Every structure is written in C-alpha cells, then in structure tokens.
Structure 1
Amino acid sequence: MKRYNLSNNLVILFLVTLFSVTSCSFTTKEFDEDSEKDEVLIELITYVIEQGHFDMKDIDDDFSTAVFKDYIKGLDPIKRHFLESDFKELKAFETQIDDQIKNKNLVFFDLSVELYKKRMEEAKGFYAELLEKPFDFNTDETINTDYDKADYAKNNKELKQRWRKQFKFSTLSTYHDLKKEQEQKKEDGEDVEEKSDEELEAEAREITRESIENYFETMSDLDREDWFSLYINSIVSQFDPHTNYLAPQDKDRFDISMSGKLEGIGARLQKQRDNVKIVEVISGGPAWTNGKLEVGDLIQKVKQEDEEESVDIRGMRLDDAVDLIKGPKGTQVTLTVKKVDGSTEMISIVRDVVEIEETYAKSSTVERNGDLFGVINLPKFYFDMQNYNERNAASDIKKELERLNEIGAEGLVIDLRNNGGGSLSTVVDIAGFFIEKGPIVQVRDAKNNTEVLKDKDSDVVWDKPLVILVNELSASASEILAAAMQDYERAVVLGSKQTYGKGTVQNVVDLNRWMRNSSFGDMGALKITTQKFYRINGGSTQLKGVESDVAVPDRYSYIDIGERDYENPMPWDKIAPANYKVWKGYSNLDEVIANSQKRLSNNAQLQLIDENAKWIKTQRDQNSYSLSYEGYNEEMTKVETMAKKFDGINKFKTDLTYKSLPYEESLMQNDSSLTQKRQRWHESLSKDVYVEEAIHVLQDLKVDRSSIKLAARKN
C-alpha cells in the first residue's frame, strides 16, 4: 500500500516532509543570473505554484487587489503607522501587483517598506512624549479595536491621538490588574507595601513604555528579507491558507523542530494582529497537563520565575514572544492570558518536554447498569517516520480493541476531540478494524486523477456498537475516519456541529532543488497544497468538515474556528462516490440518534455550556472599551461575574466511574507516575457530559447479528 501523510494545517512541525518532492512533476528552471535574488525568488515561487498547486488561480487584477489588502494589513494591522496619504500612494498599485509579479518588478514592495520605516522613525520620535505624563482615568472616552473598519489617520496629529489611546488602553489594563492584585493581597492578609493610585499608574505606564520600546527595538532588527517574506506570503496565501513560503531562517527552524525536542509549555502559537494566540495545545505537554490554557486564548504578558515584572508581548514579533515563553525544563513561566470568554487569568506553567507516552492511544473501561464499555482516546494519528511497521496509531488501537474484546466490553467510544491529524495510512488501517473491507477515502490531485484508498483486509476486529466523539478541532485524518464510519453507518458521530474542515494536503518543497546554480544562496522552501481528500460518498471534508449525527453545543459553537476562520480557504466540492456498501449491523440507528438529540435538548449541563458559548460570542464581537477606570472596571467585573457563573460547567460530575484495563493496572503497581496520569484522565472523564452521552448511545444501539452474517456471505 502506498503510504500517505495527512498534516494538520495548524501543525507543520512534524510529518509533512514525508511528501516526496518528486511527486510533483517539476523540472529545473533557468534564471537570469543578472537578476536580484528577490526577483528570482518571485519567479521561482510563481513557477512552482503554477506547476504543482492543486487549484491554480489566475494572477490578475482581482488577485492583485487581494494581495494588496493582505500585505498592507500585515504591515500595519492596527493602522498606527501609515497615514491616509501613504495608503493612497500605495493604493495606486492595487491592481498592478499581478503585473509586477510577472515582470519581477519590486517597485510597490520597495515603496511600502520605505514608507513604513519612515513612519516608524517618526513614531519613535513622539512615543516618549505620550508616556511622559500620567493618564487621566476619570475622563469619559472609549477606544474601538475593530481596526479593519477604522480609517487611516489624516495627519500626524490624528496619528498621535491614535497612539495615545492605545497607550492609555494598555496602561489602564495593567493599572487595573495591579490595583486588583494589591486589593486581593490585602484581603488575603499578606504583608504588602500599599501603593497609591498615582504610584500604580506610574508603574503601569512604565510597563507600557518598556513594552513599546521592546516593540521598536524588535522592528528595527528586521531586515529586507523579513519584509520580503511577508510580501511573498501575502502572494502565495491567495491560493489557499496553507500554501506558505518558508524563508531560509524559517526553514532552518522547521528542520530543527522535525529532528529535536523543544522545551517549553507545549503549545503552538500564532500571531493575530498585536496578540499571540493559542492555536494548539499539544497532547502530553506541560500546558496540556496543566489544563488551563485552551485554543483561542490570547497571551498578553509573560513573567519569568526569577523576575518581579511581567513583559507585555502585545505588538511583539512572534519569534521574540516565543523565545520569552519557552525555556529550560523545570523552570516556571507565568502567563497573563485573556481567555476565550473575555476574562483575564494568570496561569503558571512549569516548562517541560512533551511526554511522548501521552501522545499515544490510551483506553479505559466504564460500567453502566451492568454493561461494560470501552473508551479509547487518540490524540493524533502517529507513526514512526523511519519505519511504519514500528509502533503506530493503528497497531496500538488494534491491541486496545483486542484487550477490550477479551474483557467483554459491549460498546466503544473513540475520542478524536482535539486530534489534529497525522498519518493517513493509519486512518485506512484503523477504519478497516470496523468493516470487512472497502474504500475509506478518495485522494484527488491537480490533474483530477483520483485514487481510492481501501481496506483490503476482510477481518473485523470490532463488530460491536461504536461512537466517535469529535469537536471543532478534530482535523484532517480525524475527519477522514469519522466521515468513513459515518458513510458506512458504522458509527454514530457525536460532538460539535462540524469538525475543523481541512480536506487538503501539503507538500513541503525545497526551492533550492529547482536552481541550476547556487549563486543566489539559500532560497528557502515552499509549503504547497497538492491534493484534496474526499469522503467515499463523494463529498469533500474541506471547509464543511464532518457534520455530527448528534450535534452538541460546546464553547466554540458560535464562533468561527477552523478552516472557515482563515482567508482564502479552498471551497467544498464533490466528486463521484466510491463503490461501497453500507454496514447493516444496527437495527435502530435512526431511532437512537433521534432519542439522543431529544435527551440532550433537556440536559441542564449542555444548556449551561450553550449559554456560555453565546456569551463567548458576545465577548469576541466586542470592539469598544471604556478608557475610564470606572467604566473599564465595570466591564471587567461583568466579565468576571459571568466567568464565575460558568464555573459550574467544570463542577459537573457524572455517576460513571472509569477504570484502566487489567494489563495497565498491572503496570501501575510499579509505576506511580502512570497511576497519577490515569487518575487524572479518569477524573476528567467522570466530568465529561459528552462521554456520558456517548455511553448512553452505545447502550441504546442494537446490533443485528443476522444482518452482519448475511452481508458477509454476500461479500
């Protein structure tokens, strides 16, 4: 069987390099040796995309307009540098970028960087003045952070006012935190040297000043290559959000992450305007173990254990923010985090390396009304990059299924929540454990060649009821398994309204392989979308993901998170279905789904979760904030009150008790660490309303053995 890899769009840190460069029909190309490196790079990237991208777009005026919009937004996301006159001067090139790309013309790029650096120097000249005097937190004024709808400042006077408001907002936020922290310490009876409001304001203003000085220092360190990477990525991202240029320094970091362990908090971060956003919490990592950070949280400040003050990382370059957050194993970092629900929390995490064992599949049993069921948690579809026959997700799942069969488990929950993907080969193998044989997924390339990946083994490891748990962060490989089991009517898919929606695959291409000579130096690499995946029913998992049979509200229900949250996602489409036969094992599937939906509509815990999700939506949509202490404090108090109201979500407890399988209980006798990890997981399961409902569904599903035997004889 051909081995595929399916990488989560959020995580290019592993697996993606398994795509062979030779899988794309590229040929070495001649370049003008008298050209500048940047000119050659544009020509080379355009050539590679034209040769290999799954869905090549016309590079025309519409394309040019989209590049212009994204590039300017990337340069000045909160409109605090360019003046209206600068924007108009640059906008003259709005429909010319396509022509400049074709002609290797960099006039627009050079002008944009020149103007940006000019405004940056001007801002350096006046920021100290704005932070010299105390801010008046009694005046009634507001700031609107919806910068997409804001106009550019007409002149320097107006621009300075924009900086002033941003400085005041930052200082007010810090002042509020310092004031509340002091009040809390007094309430707790701590011996604290009480500071006046004036002293607290001065301290907060100094923190803002240090933060902006760090910002200017960081921006001053950027060179032409950094700006050009931004420009190139504004171009290539128009094809789809996962086609990215990796400059030489980024390619080096990519290579390091492929081969070594990085010590830190175990989370992947992404720049979002001036904020640093959590886009993945890595299973087995310190943040995952800590349990307080979640996808969508914004890290605002970072404090080292040996320092008294936090460093404000808002506005900081992502690489520099990451350098502050990561650190040696065993050291503690404290993050000031704006949670998804709008509340602010200080979270302390002890840095460590990801525990590999915790990224593997693990099983538990649970008994309800005399019936025994199994739960398998699969954090990702892992495999050995050097040898597929070594330990992988499929071989581990098979062992757990056989162990659950041995102890008489009558139904199974596979938990794919937060599973971002991995090896497609393991998906095909795992799906085969639940059906006799047949197609699992379809793969189509840019030339419309379609390959159907099949399970060819007629052995069925598990022929009993199956529920698959998903959420919005179940991506790529997870979606393929859930979709296949849904199309076969082999499992009930329970979870969020839809999964992540990534149905594309990327190929990481070393651009240097297309150069006949190396006189231009290292050209970096290109991550390019080359294939698309389709369900066996013909529908793509792209954008729409997999819609749950039983849709359950969660905290992300009303916000865009996943593929649809990106700009320029590739569209959903459909191809001819594969030849497959629905599994006829359930005698009451539709009835069970209907009963589950009815049962959940009256579930008090889920009603509270749904209310929380709606509150999160209002918080995410809020753009206007008071710049008076009274108004700001009132807003923050409201957020904290609502956050406390929803604390009840975490206090929920089912009447189910989870236990490790016999083989693991034997291991625990000599491994206290494993005991603690499983106790923590079982405690989490006992509070999980989604797993509880999955067990209800398993207990309701009736398997018609005669239908299974009849189908087997026909095959």
Structure 2
Amino acid sequence: MNNLQKNSLLLIAFLLLFNNLTLQAETTLKSDPEKDKILVYVLKNILTRGHFVVKDMNDDFSEKVYKSFIEGLDPSKRYFTQDDLKEFSKYKYEIDNQLLKDDVSFYNLVYNRFLEKTANAKSYYGEILKQPFNFNKKETIDIDYDKIPFAKNENKLVEYWRKQLKLNTLSRIQSELEKQEEKLKKDKKYKKKSFKTLEKEARKEVLKNMNELYLRIDELEHEDWFSVFLNSVVSAFDPHTTYMAPRIKERFDQDMSGKLEGIGARLSRQGIYTEIVELVSGGPAWKQGELEAGDIILEVAQGDKDPLDIVGMRLDDAIKFIKGKKGTEVRLTVKKKLDGSTKIISIIRDVVELEETFVKSSIVEKDGKKYGLIDLPRFYIDFSDRDARDSAKDMEKEIARLKSENIAGLLIDLRNNGGGSLQTAIQIAGLFIKQGPVVQVKYRGQDPIVKSDVDPKMQWDGSVVVLVNELSASASEIFAAAMQDYGRAVIIGGNQTYGKGTVQSVIPINNFYPKYEKDLGAIKMTIQKFYRVNGGSTQIEGVYSDIAMPDRYSYMKFGERDLDGALIWDKVPQAKYTQTNSYENFSEVVDKSKTRIASNTKFKLINEYAKWLKENQEDTSYSLNYKDFAKESKEQERVAKKYSDAFKHKSNLTFNSPKYELPLLKKDSILADKRNIWHKNLSKDIYVAEALNVLKDLKLKTKLEVVKK
C-alpha cells in the first residue's frame, strides 16, 4: 500500500463507517408498530425452535443485543455520549424480557435519541468546517473505535468530530501535495497551489462529502433502523444469522441466481440524480443501443403511462420503477452525457444474466501442453426455476468444452468465492469422483447426515489443482475439502480458507404469519453445520492448503475465527468413502512446489509485505500535526516503495478463450474487453503461475489406488 493509497483510505474511512449504517437495512416510509411486534414475535420463535444452537434468551443474550445495536447505530462513536449510555444501560439486562413480551421499548429509546443526535451532527460538522484547522498543534487521533470510549459529554463529542474532520482534511491536503510534486516533476513550469489554498479546498470537499452522506442518511426511515435492531437480535445466535428486509431478500435471490428482470444497467446515486454506471453486456439496454454510461435518468414511464419524475428519489425506489417483468416496456427520459440533450429511450425489459457471476474458462499452453483454467466466482443456483442454469450444470458443460480441446490438466480458481448453494457444491464435486460421500450435515441434536454424489459418471478424470485463498468460504470449502480428502486434487493458495462451516436456510417470515398481508422479509438462519467426509468440521479451521503461498492476508485478523460469536470447531465420525489417491507423485510435487515458493524472491517479498500490512493494521493512531503527519506519510511511502513490485509478475504465458466462445466475442465487444482484461491479469498472476507449475508436474496413476476409509 503506497502513501497515496493510505491517504485515500484514511479519507474514506470516516465515510465508510457511516455508510455501514445504510447497508444493514431497507426502508418503508412510515413506522408500523404492529409490523414491528409481529417481526419480533415471529423471529424469536423461529430462532429458539430452529437455530442450530440452543440459546437461552437471558441476561448474557440481552447484553449482546444491547452492545450490537448501539454499535450498529454509532460504530464511530460520533453520536452517543456516556450520559446517553447511562440512560440506555437500564435496559442492558432487560432486552430479553422485553423480547419475550414483544416489547420494543429499548429500541424506541435508543432510536429516538439517535434521531436527535444525527440532527445535531449536521450543525457540528458544518460549524467545524467553516474555519481553518490549526495544523501546527501537537495532537493525535486514534481511529480504533472498538478501543476508544464514548465521549463524556456533548463538548467532548464535538471534539471527536473536530479531530475526525481534521484528519479527513489533512489526508486530502497531503494527497494533493503529493500530486503537485508529481506534476512538477513532469512540468517544471507547473505552478503549485499554496498550503492555505489546498487547506481551504480540502475543507470544502470534506463538507461536500458530508452533505452528500447526510442526504443519504436523511432518506432512511424507521424501518431501516429497526432492521439494524432485528439484526442485533438474530446475530446474537451466530454471525451468519441475519434478518433480510424485502428488498435485501430480492437482492439475495438475484445474487444467488445471477440474473434479474429489467433493462440490464448498473445505476448509482450522484447527488439528487440516478446515473447509468455500466450496461450489462448482452442485456436489453445494451442491445437497444441508445443508453450510455454517464447518462442521467430524469423520468420513468411504464409503457404509455405518464412519466414519473425520479430526480431526488432514493436509488432503491428509482430502481423499483426502472426494473420490471420480461416483455414489458419502460420509457426513460434521459439527459445525455455527451451533449446534455434530453431524450426519451424505450426499452423492452428482459431477463438479464450477470456475466461476472457465472463460470468462465480459459486455455493456456505450457511446455507444449494445453491446460484449462475454470474460474468459479460462486456456487449459484435459481431456486425458483430448476431448469435455469446453475453452477453445477455450467461446470459440467465447461469441462466438456475444455476436454474437446484436449487439455492435459484442469485448474479450478475458487479465490474470493464466498460460497452459495450446498447442492451445487456436492454436484460439482461429483464431476471429479465416481460416486460417494461429499459432505456431512448435522442439525442440532441429531446424528450427521451423509450427502453423496450418486452418479457414477466422472466428467473429468484427469489432473486437478484447486486454487483458494482466505476468502474462499462455505461451499468452496466443501468442494476443496472433498477433493483433498479423496486425494483427487492438490489444494494450493493461502494457508487456510475462511472457515465457514455452517449452513443457512432462507425462510420467508410470512410463512409463519400468513394472515399478515405485507411482506415481512426473510430470515437467513443457521440450521446446520457441515463436516468433511473425514469427520472434521470446516468451521473455524477451514481447509488447510497442501501448498501454502504467502499473500496479503497471511497475518491479518481474518476469517471465521475472528468473528464474535462464531460457532466452535468440532468433529463427527468419518463417513465411509474410498480415496482415489489419483497421483503417483503427489508428495514429490508438493515438496517441489514448497521449495520453489520458499526460494522465490517475489514470494519472500509478498511475505514481508503481509507482515508490514499487519503492523499497519495494528497502528491506528495518527498525528494531526501537519509536519508529523507528513513525516509519517513519507516514511510510509518509503517503506511502501520496497513492496511496490511484490505482485508484479510476468509469466510469459498466453491465456485464450476456448473455441466455443470466440464467435460470442466477435458479436459482443464489451464481453471481449472483459475477457482480454481477465487474460492479461492471469498472465501476471504469480499464484496462477505456480498452480500451473504444480498441475504440469502431477502424474496420474495408471491404475488408481483404492483406499477405503
């Protein structure tokens, strides 16, 4: 991380803390006490009866909800004071009793105080940013908000605000000064701005960002914050149990299926306007051809109906009017980016597939042999349509296509794959073994159930390497663990995967309260833990790589083991399965790779970089004196330069699309550009390069050894 990057991170850190508030809930415009009580009633009953963990709603539970809700509303400690906490604390051990009576008094007290405090905050930051900061004063700020106490009183609260705004301003100034130095190196005639001018411009920019932030916060209503409260309640059972308001549920379904119905455009909020960020390749808007990135949507009409003005409308509501069922017409009144003209664009909505969700593959030649690489971003499925594409069907098809091009081995990239459908993970594992157990799942208080691949067909019986990292989680870990336990693949990547060994079920809340007509959303609840076929859980431990490669996450606090309330690791009896032990030189290849990695100067540098990142993660204090801040920044920049080449790798390998995809790329320039970027990145990827070395070295047994377990 160079100095400019660190300054940028400092600049947005404060805003991200606030933005975190908006990510936890969805809105309706008015308070609905009846709905609130129904949600509390239904959720507590679902959780106590169905959650994997039997948890008493007692004083310990109450304290967890208390802390979680206050932290959810005020993560950066910019609203509540110790006086507020003193008043709130009378409910600290009473929330469990209130919930049992469907009473939300604690929520109402904290929420109403929060509204008062956010109203005050506007005057705080506005007044503070009117005057220049004194950057000669010796003072520091600690941004580890888990450690710092709540402000003693309102005066101290304003002081918290002053320091944070000063840090934001200072980091902007430093960033601009560095940019000026770079420009001066290129142009000796370049005229630099004075520190006074930069300070004034920086304050103005910080004020603008704060105003835009509070414009978004002001759009949030009672149900946004009530969802924060509900998530404080349900997450007291475990970190992966969450309440999903109706629109969050809709997004979840979209992510799981990789598709939606609409126009195929990504939108963002720019001030009071809704702007086109990107067109989805192959989508209706892309095919229609008139809408472009940067265009602003002013009005939306459904077919021949009168248009609706969406200027000033919150983004989620605007999207609701723009999206719609396949085959319906939407007419958008658009202000064009290029010439500022206003134009009405008619688009027929359709099913939009989000290409980046789906399996994609590439072919690379190494030492005279061709190898296939399959990137699987997540284990996707459309639960509402069994005939729709899913990750298992797509993987089977993609492997068949690669086999037709005579590949000698297969690399499966599961890096950053956070999981998805357990069903598809089992089916995909079945593509690489004849048949047998893949995973064991266990409900609370019951014996484990073995989930098996029952299809004797093997789609791929050749060499396999699976590439993972610390962000490979859940279903990714099921697949990687099965491949490791069977001896079917070499697992290479980070030291261990994420460690999420729990299964969640998404349950519509209306199923339990059908007489209520409004949509109550859903609960994503932990109902099972899963275990490897060898009996060990992937919970906390994850899957340890056969070959570990240093990366930026190596020493970070990361993964399930660092989450509060994560379920424990345990084990069950191993399932009966037959190892394939597919390779005659498995240990030799692993040792050879470890030796290469240990002697590789790039990997050594990456390891040092990871240690440095860990040190920076732990150093949360910053000077607010300009000279000291600049000195610290220069030192950061000096050290960062040492690691600037850590991930710069040149493999001299050329990655290409499989033959079936070439005609598609000719028709679709956006997809072609995306593939070109992906292929270039693969050729520079040191982890892919080493994984391919391993794949090349593996030798299959002519007669597979059978070892019953």
Per-residue deviation, residues 297-353 of structure 1 (Å, max 9, x unmatched) = xxxxxxx899xxxxxxxxxxxx97999999999999xxxxxxxxxxxxxxxxxxxx9
Aligned partner of 2:534 in structure 1 is 537
Aligned partner of 1:313 in structure 2 is none
CA drift at 1:355: 7.0
In structure 2, how many angstroms separate the alpha carbons of the residues matched to 1:498 and 1:261? Answer: 39
CA drift at 1:666: 6.7
1:589 matched to 2:589? The reply is no
1:154 matched to 2:152? The reply is yes
The aligned amino acid for 1:411 is: G
In structure 2, how many angstroms separate the alpha carbons of the residues matched to 1:133 and 1:226? Answer: 34
Aligned partner of 2:651 in structure 1 is 654
Per-residue deviation, residues 344-380 of structure 1 (Å, max 9, x unmatched) = xxxxxxxxx9974444333333333344433222223
Aligned residues between the structures: 615
Aligned partner of 1:418 in structure 2 is 416
The aligned amino acid for 1:577 is: Q
Report the 3-state secondary structure (helix = DSSP H, G, I; strand = E; otherwise coil) of the residue aligned with 2:471: coil
Instruction: Please say if residues 500 and 562 of structure 1, whose CA atoms lie closer than 8 Å, have aligned partners that are also in contact.
Output: yes
Change (3 A) 1:64 1:389: same
After TM superposition, the structure 1 stretch with the greater mean CA deviation from structure 2, 63-72 or 211-220, is 211-220
In structure 1, how many angstroms separate the alpha carbons of the residues matched to 2:249 and 2:295? Answer: 32
In structure 2, how many angstroms separate the alpha carbons of the residues matched to 1:662 and 1:416? Answer: 23
- Residue of 195, 199, 202 corresponding to 1:201: 199
1:686 matched to 2:678? The reply is no
Report the 3-state secondary structure (helix = DSSP H, G, I; strand = E; otherwise coil) of the residue aligned with 2:133: coil
In structure 1, how many angstroms separate the alpha carbons of the residues matched to 2:169 and 2:263? Answer: 34
Change (3 A) 1:232 1:681: closer
Aligned partner of 2:378 in structure 1 is 380
Aligned partner of 1:56 in structure 2 is 54
The aligned amino acid for 2:468 is: V
CA drift at 1:645: 3.3
The aligned amino acid for 2:655 is: Y
In structure 2, how many angstroms separate the alpha carbons of the residues matched to 1:119 and 1:585? Answer: 63
Change (3 A) 1:673 1:255: closer
5 Å matches for 1:146-225? 146-189=144-187, 195-216=193-214, 218-225=216-223
Instruction: Please say if residues 442 and 533 of structure 1, whose CA atoms lie closer than 8 Å, have aligned partners that are also in contact.
Output: yes
- Residue of 574, 588, 603 corresponding to 2:571: 574
Change (3 A) 1:222 1:204: same
In structure 2, how many angstroms separate the alpha carbons of the residues matched to 1:618 and 1:331? Answer: 48
Aligned partner of 2:23 in structure 1 is none
In structure 2, how many angstroms separate the alpha carbons of the residues matched to 1:86 and 1:621? Answer: 29
- Residue of 596, 601, 610 corresponding to 2:598: 601
CA drift at 1:256: 7.6
Aligned partner of 1:245 in structure 2 is 243
Aligned partner of 1:70 in structure 2 is 68
Q: Is there any run of 5+ residues in structure 1 with no aligned partner, and where?
A: 1-33, 268-281, 287-303, 307-318, 333-352
In structure 2, how many angstroms separate the alpha carbons of the residues matched to 1:568 and 1:264? Answer: 38
The aligned amino acid for 2:532 is: R
Aligned partner of 1:555 in structure 2 is 552
CA drift at 1:220: 4.8
CA drift at 1:477: 1.9
Change (3 A) 1:94 1:193: same
Instruction: Please say if residues 266 and 285 of structure 1, whose CA atoms lie closer than 8 Å, have aligned partners that are also in contact.
Output: no
In structure 1, how many angstroms separate the alpha carbons of the residues matched to 2:531 and 2:233? Answer: 27
CA drift at 1:589: 1.8
Aligned partner of 1:18 in structure 2 is none
Instruction: Please say if residues 281 and 670 of structure 2, whose CA atoms lie closer than 8 Å, have aligned partners that are also in contact.
Output: no
Q: Is there any run of 5+ residues in structure 2 with no aligned partner, and where?
A: 1-31, 269-277, 283-293, 297-312, 323-331, 338-350
Change (3 A) 1:364 1:154: closer
Change (3 A) 1:80 1:657: closer
CA drift at 1:160: 2.2
Aligned partner of 1:4 in structure 2 is none
1:103 matched to 2:107? The reply is no
Aligned partner of 1:344 in structure 2 is none
Change (3 A) 1:358 1:331: farther
Change (3 A) 1:48 1:606: same
Per-residue deviation, residues 360-415 of structure 1 (Å, max 9, x unmatched) = 33333333334443322222333455544554433333344344444443322111
- Residue of 489, 492, 500 corresponding to 1:491: 489
CA drift at 1:579: 0.9
Change (3 A) 1:558 1:535: same
CA drift at 1:187: 4.5
The aligned amino acid for 1:175 is: I
In structure 1, how many angstroms separate the alpha carbons of the residues matched to 2:250 and 2:533? Answer: 38
5 Å matches for 1:360-379? 360-379=358-377
Change (3 A) 1:160 1:321: farther
Aligned partner of 1:524 in structure 2 is 521
Change (3 A) 1:580 1:566: same
Aligned partner of 2:436 in structure 1 is 438
CA drift at 1:126: 4.5
Instruction: Please say if residues 153 and 159 of structure 1, whose CA atoms lie closer than 8 Å, have aligned partners that are also in contact.
Output: yes
Instruction: Please say if residues 265 and 325 of structure 1, whose CA atoms lie closer than 8 Å, have aligned partners that are also in contact.
Output: no
After TM superposition, the structure 1 stretch with the greater mean CA deviation from structure 2, 222-231 or 48-57, is 222-231
Aligned partner of 2:127 in structure 1 is 129
| Aligned alpha-carbon RMSD (Å) | 3.8
The aligned amino acid for 1:155 is: N
CA drift at 1:590: 2.2
In structure 1, how many angstroms separate the alpha carbons of the residues matched to 2:352 and 2:613? Answer: 30
Change (3 A) 1:523 1:362: closer
CA drift at 1:580: 0.2
Report the 3-state secondary structure (helix = DSSP H, G, I; strand = E; otherwise coil) of the residue aligned with 1:526: strand
In structure 1, how many angstroms separate the alpha carbons of the residues matched to 2:426 and 2:173? Answer: 55
In structure 2, how many angstroms separate the alpha carbons of the residues matched to 1:194 and 1:473? Answer: 43
CA drift at 1:488: 0.4
The aligned amino acid for 2:619 is: Q
Change (3 A) 1:698 1:194: closer
Aligned partner of 1:461 in structure 2 is 459
After TM superposition, the structure 1 stretch with the greater mean CA deviation from structure 2, 603-612 or 666-675, is 666-675
In structure 2, how many angstroms separate the alpha carbons of the residues matched to 1:669 and 1:553? Answer: 39
CA drift at 1:202: 1.9
5 Å matches for 1:506-525? 506-515=504-513, 517-518=515-516, 521-525=518-522
Report the 3-state secondary structure (helix = DSSP H, G, I; strand = E; otherwise coil) of the residue aligned with 1:574: coil
Report the 3-state secondary structure (helix = DSSP H, G, I; strand = E; otherwise coil) of the residue aligned with 2:703: helix
Aligned partner of 2:9 in structure 1 is none
Report the 3-state secondary structure (helix = DSSP H, G, I; strand = E; otherwise coil) of the residue aligned with 2:574: coil
Structure 2 length as normaliser, TM-score?
0.77
- Residue of 614, 637, 642 corresponding to 1:640: 637
Change (3 A) 1:234 1:191: farther
Instruction: Please say if residues 281 and 668 of structure 2, whose CA atoms lie closer than 8 Å, have aligned partners that are also in contact.
Output: no
Aligned partner of 1:113 in structure 2 is 111
After TM superposition, the structure 1 stretch with the greater mean CA deviation from structure 2, 583-592 or 93-102, is 583-592
In structure 2, how many angstroms separate the alpha carbons of the residues matched to 1:461 and 1:523? Answer: 43
In structure 1, how many angstroms separate the alpha carbons of the residues matched to 2:253 and 2:388? Answer: 23
Identity of aligned residues (%): 45
1:628 matched to 2:601? The reply is no
Change (3 A) 1:182 1:491: same
Change (3 A) 1:661 1:449: same
CA drift at 1:236: 0.8
The aligned amino acid for 2:524 is: K
The aligned amino acid for 1:656 is: L
Change (3 A) 1:655 1:323: farther
Aligned partner of 1:428 in structure 2 is 426
Report the 3-state secondary structure (helix = DSSP H, G, I; strand = E; otherwise coil) of the residue aligned with 2:62: helix
